[in-house]
Amino acid sequence: MEVKKRSTPILPWMRSPVDVNQFEACALNLVPCLDPRLTVLIIDFFQVRLEVALDKMGFSSLFPVQVAVWQETIGPGAFERDLCINSPTGSGKTLAYALPIVQKLSTRSVKCLRALVVLPTRDLALQVKEVFAAIAPAVGLSVGLAVGQSSIADEISELIKRPKLEAGICYDPEDVTCELQSSVDILVATPGRLMDHINSTKGFTLEHLCYLVVDETDRLLREAYQSWLPT
């Protein structure tokens, strides 16, 4: 009796993966394709500030996976497609996506939530937030955290900017609600607390979102986490 081999379906974009091993580490001052939308002088200024921020984290060069992702985002790839990154722990995946996102958002003119990173656990979220917080302020971006570490009221005060109201003046509550704005450009969150904010936090919106990162994807997709993904 002939035994048929079980075939595993492969998505078209998985058939020709980019091999990270083909890339070498790249010194920070040699990273190619710094934001082409910026003038030469601003590029030089941004590069200096970025290198200072990364030096504080102990980085002197980008790792191969970081160089590969940079090519697909800031380089020739220009963020034209979604990316699935598979690389061992400690190879630098967090900075691989944090760096191009921060660079892309560095020219934003209005503060609103444009990048969301979802992780399965609070500890992982805290680690990722530290990476973003080390480089984002260098280009004027702010990073928020929603993991249930503090009360939801405290998180709301950190994530949502409320308009300043003058004493002695009556305001329409609906008008005040419309003026609520995001205090952060980038949010790192766990699925459960993210759902809490989506469902109940006034002024919290994902309508301006440009970048979504699902970190530790295999773990996140194994559990429902309040149906965060369909939502």
**Percent of the chain having pLDDT more than 70?**
75
Task: Give dist(CA 182, CA 187) in Å, integer.
Answer: 10
Mean pLDDT across 204-219: 93
Tokens of 59: 């980085």
Instruction: Give the distance, in angstroms, between the CA of residue 218 and the centroid of all CA atoms in the same chain.
Output: 18
Tokens of 187: 């949010």
Kind of pairing between the strands at 211-214 and 143-146 = unpaired
* Per-residue pLDDT tens digits for 142-168: 999 999 888 899 999 999 987 664 555
Residues contacting residue 56 through CB under 8 Å, at least 6 positions apart? 134
In terms of Cα–Cα distance, which of 97, 150, 159, 101 is closest to 122?
Answer: 150
Q: How long is the chain?
A: 231
* Per-residue pLDDT tens digits for 42-80: 334 445 666 667 776 666 677 888 888 988 898 777 788
Structural domains of the chain, ranges and CATH numbers in brackets: 17-42+49-163+179-222 (3.40.50.300)
Neighbours of 196 (CB within 10 A): 19
Task: Give dist(CA 115, CA 76) in Å, integer.
Answer: 21
